[in-house]
Amino acid sequence: MNFDNRTRARELAMQGLYQIDVQGPGLLELIDEFFAEADPDDFVRKLASVWTKGTWENLAKCDELITASIIKWQFERLSPVDKSILRLAVYQLKFCPDIPPKVVINEAIELAKKFSTDKSPAFVNGVLDAILRKLNAEKQTN
């Protein structure tokens, strides 16, 4: 399994989540067509699809964790790109135990560098660090 393929799948999943967020949940049914046009690699497309659909199915929980962790900021004011990056990363932190948290956070920061504003990588890092601490604390109390 190629690390770059997983990075590419993350990019596609983030873009898919962005599209669904902006255009509406009806787009979820067409997301695999978007991935088919965006990348020729079968592994990349399947992984992007699994992550996108998994994130969307768990959106309420992901958004709740993000909202609770963005201090002095309103969820509604997040840019759609940052929201999509955070949602995907939170989904992976909470529901993909096979992916090391450090990888999830580093990849999210890279997505923010590539697709968002100058301030975004530090913002994404801070929010995800707070969420990871919260998730680790939950694990210890369960």
Q: Other CB atoms closer than 10 Å to residue 89's CB: what's the count? A: 30
**pLDDT value for 58:** 97
Which residue type is seen at 75? Answer: F
Q: Render pLDDT for 82-118 as a digit per residue (tens, 0 to 9).
A: 999 999 999 999 999 999 999 999 999 999 999 999 9
In order of their start, the domains of the chain are 3-141 (1.10.940.10)
- Number of residues written out for the chain: 142
List Cβ neighbours of 47 (8 Å cut-off, separation of 6 or more).
Answer: 5, 6, 9, 13
Rounded Cα distance between 14 and 76, Å, is 18
The answer, yes or no, to whether residue 26 has pLDDT greater than 80, is: yes
Whole-angstrom Cα Rg for the chain: 14
Q: What is the pLDDT of residues 49-90, one digit of tens each?
A: 999 999 999 999 999 999 999 977 788 789 999 999 999 999
Q: Cα 95 vs. chain centroid, distance in angstroms?
A: 11
Q: Name the 3-class secondary structure at 24.
A: coil
HSE toward the beta carbon, residue 19, CA cutoff 13 A: 18
